[in-house]
């Protein structure tokens, strides 16, 4: 056991093991992409897709809701 049995050093050891496995997985996925020649989407691509959809859809929705709120406010003030 390379680390003493304290909670903090155990966490550091677990982080090192996780980092090694993560790096190995990244190397394997890069090798697979190079072999197959096709790109596979991951979570970052999904986040980029969601952000793009929000950037396209949010301004028109805000305009519609803002216009509706102004009409309702006008009706409230007039009637």
Measure the CA dihedral 10/14/19/20, to 10°.
100
Judgement on whether residues 15 and 48 belong to the same structural domain of the protein: no
- 25 dihedral zone (left: phi>0; alpha: psi -120 to 50; beta): alpha
Q: Are 59 and 65 in contact (CB under 8 A)?
A: no
Residue 62 lies in domain? 41-79
Same-domain status, 52 and 25: no
Shared domain check, 47 and 15:
no
Q: Which two tokens stand for residue 54?
A: 């929000």
Q: Quote the pLDDT of residue 17.
A: 59
For every one of its 79 residues, what pLDDT tens digit does the chain have, with 9 covering 90 and above? 454 554 445 445 555 555 666 666 666 655 555 556 677 888 999 999 999 999 999 999 999 999 999 999 999 999 8
The full DSSP string for 27-49 is HHHHHHHHHH------HHHHHHH
For residue 78, give both structure tokens.
Answer: 């007039």
């Amino acid at each position: 056991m390379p680390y003493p049995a304290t909670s903090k050093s155990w966490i550091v050891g677990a982080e090192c093991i996780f980092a090694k496995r993560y790096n190995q997985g990244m190397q394997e996925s890069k090798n697979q992409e190079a072999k197959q020649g096709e790109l596979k989407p991951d979570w970052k691509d999904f986040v980029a897709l969601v952000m793009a959809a929000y950037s396209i859809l949010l301004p028109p929705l805000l305009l519609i809701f803002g216009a509706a709120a102004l009409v309702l406010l006008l009706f409230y003030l007039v009637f």
